[in-house]
Chains A and B, each alone.
Chain A
Amino acid sequence: MIRIFKNNIIEALEALSSYAFQKTAWFDNNQGLSYSYNENILDLFYDSMLDEVLKAGEVVFGKDADDLLRDLELATAKLDGSDYSEAALIDLPQMQIIREKAAHALALIKAGWGGRSSVDLV
């Protein structure tokens, strides 16, 4: 059974959904942060193995949240952060859509669904 670290997913979604965080991370160098959109997506979907389990049809956070995460992954696949400067990226309309989807998924995951995940969710 594949293991998924729930906190890593939540942390990645929090970063992806927050305009304020991105602004601070990108333009306020005194905060000791290092953030990139591409790394955020890698953390959320690929390094976490979430992409693999969602594609395999596993139940991770419940149907609604999982569907939303699949939708989010499609949206993020269309945007490559290396094509844009941070100043351009932060106000890109696609980025705003991604933030909204991420915020929605985050809310659903935090609310919980009362069911049992088919992966090892720790």
Chain B
Amino acid sequence: MPLSAAMSDDLQQLRVDHAALRMRVALLKLELAYDRAVKAEARAAVADSFEEMLTVSAGLSLIEGVMRGAENITQSAAEDHWQNFKQQLRDKFNIRVVLQDEPWLPVFLKQREIEFLTTLEKLFERVDSAPWPLAEKHSLRHSPLRLEFKALTPGQSLFGQIEARLESETLRHAQRLSQGLDQKRQQAIGITKYVWRTRGDNKVRAAHAANDGKLFEWRNPPATGYPGEDFGCRCWADPVLDGAGDVFIEPADEVRVAGMGKVVIEIFRRVIAKRAARQAAERAARDAARKPKPAPPSKPLPGNILKRPKDIPENWRQVPSNKGEGTKFVDPKNPHNYVRISRGKPDSSNPGQSVDHVRWQKNGMSLDKYGNPVSRLSRDSHIPLDEFKFRRELFE
């Protein structure tokens, strides 16, 4: 074979080999590029899932944090309510009070806290059971979470949605707590009625706007429920003493005691007594205008109701009457032995009540003027003061 021919064949073979090699290199390059592309895509997918996983994890931590702080949130909301309630009493009735103890409060707060925790727990479970890691890029939009947070805009982050939901739940919890405390605290100090108040803006729902300014009783709520009770309701109960607009002003007073509502109740008693006195005066004036004046009693009321009747032992304690005008003498050895003297009501239609009279009892049993047991509702148990004679022998 001539050299030129042999070289030509070799060259030809080399060319073929080279072409094959180039093709293999190209294929390898393509393969490499493909691998790179595939891996890059996989990494991107993992990164997306990881990001969402972190978001869900951060959301769960956020819910957990609020759950751990539920007790403090509740206590703080209750304290805020007390400050507002106190302020309201001062503004409305000019009364300043400090209550140091409310025995029902711990149980009430714990109940509300448990309700709040139950809501948060459900939220936690829903987020926790979501299909994560979320393999597909926009799967969140189709997941149960999307349904849970459907009120929010699609572009908003999951974390933001959880945060907003927690905020609304906490606000709702504080509102419900405030409504309940309004009811409990108003009733604890003897307020039985309230006027429904709204915020007066265009967000007030129609049913609540219809209640605005109306008088309700705590024991008889309207069909809408109590103000502030419904979800997101911002209405509130404006306390009244007795009837709309029936407000009585007392001098500012501050007393500190450790008894539930005791101070407030005492103050309200005075306020109500003042009102009763005013009503009695008005009624008397009306009656006087309508009727002829009644004739004065034919004989003066006998005796002094504060004077110790003869023969009552000196060691029997004399105490003022808890109700009405009168006095009571109590056996120190047995509080169920006593003599009570009451002021009569000259205008009473009942003869037993029209004069100053004595009621006495021995060991819980009511006695007539001779010391015989009788019903405490009988006329015999009401002894005219001038006919009463204490019998020591009965109590020896």
Note all chain A residues with C-beta closer than 8 A to B349.
26-27, 29, 86-87
The answer to whether A43 touches B378 (Cβ under 8 A) is: no
- Return chain A residues, CB-CB under 8 Å to B352: 33-34
Q: Which residues of B contact A41 (CB under 8 A)?
A: 322-323
User: Closest CB-CB distance, A46 to chain B, in whole Å?
Assistant: 4
Contact B382–A38 (Cβ < 8 Å): no
- Write out, one digit per residue, whether chain B residues 337-377 have a CB within 8 A of any chain A CB (1) or not (0): 01010110101111111000001010010000000000011
Q: Which residues of B contact A86 (CB under 8 A)?
A: 348-350
When chains A and B are docked, how far (Å) is the Cα of A50 from the Cα of B238? 34
A83 vs B352: C-alpha distance when bound (angstroms): 18
**CB atoms of B377 and A80 under 8 A apart:** no
Q: Is the CB of B377 within 8 A of A15?
A: yes
Given A29-B350, A33-B377, A42-B322, is A83 in contact with B277 using a C-beta cutoff of 8 Å?
yes
Closest chain B residue to A80, Cβ basis: B276
Contact between A46 and B376, CB atoms less than 8 A apart: no
Residue of A nearest to B104 (CB): A67
CB-CB under 8 A from A83, the residues of chain B are: 276-277, 279-280
Contact between B272 and A78, CB atoms less than 8 A apart: yes
Q: How far is the CB of A57 from chain B (nearest CB, A)?
A: 8
Q: Which chain A residue shows the least CB distance to B278?
A: A83
Q: Does chain A have a CB within 8 A of B381?
A: yes
A3 to B378, CA, bound (A): 24
Number of chain B residues close to chain A: CB under 8 A:
42
B190 at the A/B interface (Cβ < 8 Å)? yes
Tell me the nearest residue of chain B to A51, going by C-beta.
B322
The reply to whether A47 and B377 contact each other, CB–CB distance below 8 Å, is no
**A96 contacts chain B at the CB level, 8 A cutoff:** no
Chain A, interface size category, equals 35 or more
Q: Could you tell me the distance in whole angstroms from the C-beta of A35 to the nearest C-beta in chain B?
A: 6
Mostly, the B contact residues are: mixed
Residue in contact with B364 in the complex, picked from A5, A42, A51, CB distance below 8 Å:
A5
A47 near B361 with CB under 8 A, answer: yes
Chain B: CB-nearest residue to A74 = B190
B321 at the interface (CB under 8 A from A): yes
A46 touches B364 (CB 8 A): no
Contacts of B42 in A (CB 8 A): none
Interface check B199, CB cutoff 8 A = no
Least CB distance from A34 to B in Å reads 3
Partner of A47, one of B279, B338, B343: B338
**Interchain CB contact (< 8 A) of B325 among A25, A43, A82, A88:** A82
In the complex, chain B residues 319-335 whose Cβ is within 8 Å of any chain A Cβ? 321-325, 328, 335
Q: Which of A27, A35, A80 contacts B323 (CB 8 A)?
A: A80
B344 to A, closest residue via Cβ: A36
Which B residues are in CB contact (< 8 Å) with A51?
322
Q: Which residue of B lies closest to A35 (CB)?
A: B377
Per-residue contact bits, chain A 80-117, to B (CB 8 Å; 1 contact, 0 not)? 11111111100000000100000000000000000000
Interface residues of B in 257-284 (CB under 8 A from A): 265, 268-269, 272-273, 276-277, 279-280, 283
Residue of A nearest to B347 (CB): A85
Does B86 touch A at the CB level, under 8 Å?
Answer: no
Alpha-carbon distance A62/B344, docked complex (angstroms): 37
For B283, what are the chain A residues with a Cβ–Cβ distance below 8 Å? 88
Within residues 27 to 56 of chain A, which ones have a CB less than 8 A from any CB in chain B?
Answer: 27, 29, 32-36, 38-39, 41-43, 45-49, 51
Residue B379 CB within 8 A of the other chain: yes
Instruction: Report whether A82 and B269 are in contact in the complex, using a CB–CB cutoff of 8 Å.
Output: no
- Contacts A86-B348, A87-B349 given: A33-B379 contact, CB under 8 Å? yes
Tell whether B336 is near chain A: CB-to-CB under 8 Å: yes
Measured CA separation A89–B342 after assembly (Å):
19
Question: With an 8 A cutoff between CB atoms, is A20 at the interface?
Answer: no
**A39/B276 in contact, CB under 8 A:** no
Given contacts A25-B377, A34-B378, contact A8 B351 (CB under 8 A): no
Shortest 4 CB-CB contacts between residues of A and residues of B: A34-B352, A5-B364, A38-B324, A34-B382
23 A-B contacts (beta carbon < 8 Å): A3-B364, A8-B364, A15-B377, A26-B349, A29-B350, A33-B350, A34-B350, A34-B351, A39-B359, A41-B323, A45-B322, A46-B322, A47-B328, A47-B338, A49-B336, A74-B265, A81-B323, A83-B276, A83-B279, A83-B280, A85-B347, A86-B348, A97-B192
Additional A-B contacts beyond A39-B324, A47-B340 (18; CB < 8 A): A29-B350, A33-B352, A34-B379, A35-B350, A35-B377, A36-B353, A41-B323, A47-B328, A51-B322, A78-B269, A81-B324, A82-B325, A82-B343, A83-B276, A83-B279, A86-B349, A88-B283, A97-B192
